[in-house]
Structure 1
Amino acid sequence: MSNRDDLMAAAKQCLREKGFTRTTARDLAAVSGVSLAAIGYHFGSKEALLSQAMIEATAEWVGELETALASEIDPNAPLAIRFETVWTRILEVATANRQLWAANFEVSPYIDAMPEVREVMAAAQEKAREGLAELFQGAVRPDDPAANRAVGAFHYALMTGVLAQWLIDPERAPSARDLTQALRIIAADVAG
């Protein structure tokens, strides 16, 4: 592996073990076996490296989720069944990546001081909205990108809210079944 690759692997490991704010440049250099100067050379800053690592690790998490769901979800299944199945898997995979999700929330209060991190995170958020629309709905509407974005934004907001609750109090955070029940109640109220 190259120094850049070693630093990225070290950053992902440190995010999982220490989180975003507790990881130091020295931690990254020690875990990667690369000099401190290599961080600046390859990524510009420790924060830029960690944010890129967080995005890549989150993409790996999403890939793991998609792989798990690919064999389980019938594309013709009713939305409520798809919804509960996706949420069951999200919570299972999130459990295995708890510190990574904590790191995602941990960076939020500092985002104004890190414009380069904000830019990378905003781009990743937009991509996540697109992916979530397809993951939950089963298909996107090629003729209506505004509808796709709205659906993706809804699922993204729900996901971040549920994961925040789960990080704080996993025993009382909503389950996949709770979320599906709520969706049915809300849909009935909207339709009625």
Structure 2
Amino acid sequence: MGNREDLLVAAKRCLYEKGYARTTARDIATAAGVSLAAIGYHYGSKEALLNAALQQAIEEWGGDLARLLTSEAEAGLAGDRFARTWTKVIDSFAATRPLWEVQFELLAHIERTPELRSTLADAHRQARLGLAELFGYDAAYDERRALRMGAFYQVLLGGLAAQWLADPAGALSGSDLLEAMRTVLTENDKTL
């Protein structure tokens, strides 16, 4: 690996260990074994490097999740597949806890950091399309609908991640989520 790649790996490690706000340029340079000037040369700023590292971490999680969920394409009732899929998503939080902690931390900084808002907005749009695809909708067919469906899944994902971070034992399971959705639809069927 070259300095650029070393910096990206080091920035991701620092994000996970120290968080976004507490990571310094010196932390990253030291972890990468390069000079401070290398950050500016390769990425322009510490923030741009951290944003690139976060984007890569989110993409890696998405790829890992896609591989994990591939088996969910198997036959079975839609509700059972839904519950199994969300159980796997929830289980993935344990392995990626630092990624979720950093993402929630960043929400506190988003108003003061326009480039961070832009990075997260781009990441969320891609995540919506990816989630729609993971759950069986082809964005090439109707991208607007895929974005809407992906946003729904993203709401579930973010809420479940927040619950899991605060209280892993009390967070919903995939089966709990399915039962709650069925109840909401049944109870509100008269008004929908």
**TM-score calculated relative to the size of structure 1:** 0.91
Give the equivalent residue in structure 2 for 1:124. 123
* Structure 2: tracts of 5 or more residues without a match: none
CA distance in 2, matches of 1:157, 1:6: 34
Structure 1 residues 30 and 146: CA distance shift in structure 2, 3 A: same
CA distance in 2, matches of 1:92, 1:99: 14
CA distance in 2, matches of 1:78, 1:143: 24
Give the equivalent residue in structure 2 for 1:40. 40
Structure 1 residues 70 and 164: CA distance shift in structure 2, 3 A: same
CA distance in 2, matches of 1:145, 1:132: 12
Give the equivalent residue in structure 1 for 2:153. 155
CA distance in 2, matches of 1:18, 1:110: 15
Give the equivalent residue in structure 2 for 1:79. 78
> Deviation at 1:82?
2.5
> Deviation at 1:131?
1.0
* Structure 1: tracts of 5 or more residues without a match: none
Q: Structure 1 residue 178 and structure 2 residue 183: aligned? A: no
Q: Percent identity?
A: 47
Report the AA paired with residue 73 of structure 1.
Answer: A
CA distance in 1, matches of 2:37, 2:162: 35
Q: Structure 1 residue 92 and structure 2 residue 91: aligned? A: yes
> Deviation at 1:143?
4.0
Give the equivalent residue in structure 1 for 2:11. 11
Report the AA paired with residue 186 of structure 2.
Answer: A
CA distance in 1, matches of 2:23, 2:85: 32
What is the DSSP-based 3-state SS (H/G/I as helix, E as strand, rest coil) of the residue aligned with 2:170? coil
Q: Structure 1 residue 67 and structure 2 residue 67: aligned? A: yes
RMSD: 1.7
CA distance in 2, matches of 1:143, 1:57: 28
CA distance in 2, matches of 1:80, 1:44: 48
Q: Is the 8 A contact 1:16 1:97 kept in 2?
A: no
Report the AA paired with residue 20 of structure 2.
Answer: F
Q: Is the 8 A contact 1:19 1:100 kept in 2?
A: no
CA distance in 1, matches of 2:143, 2:171: 32
**TM-score calculated relative to the size of structure 2:** 0.91
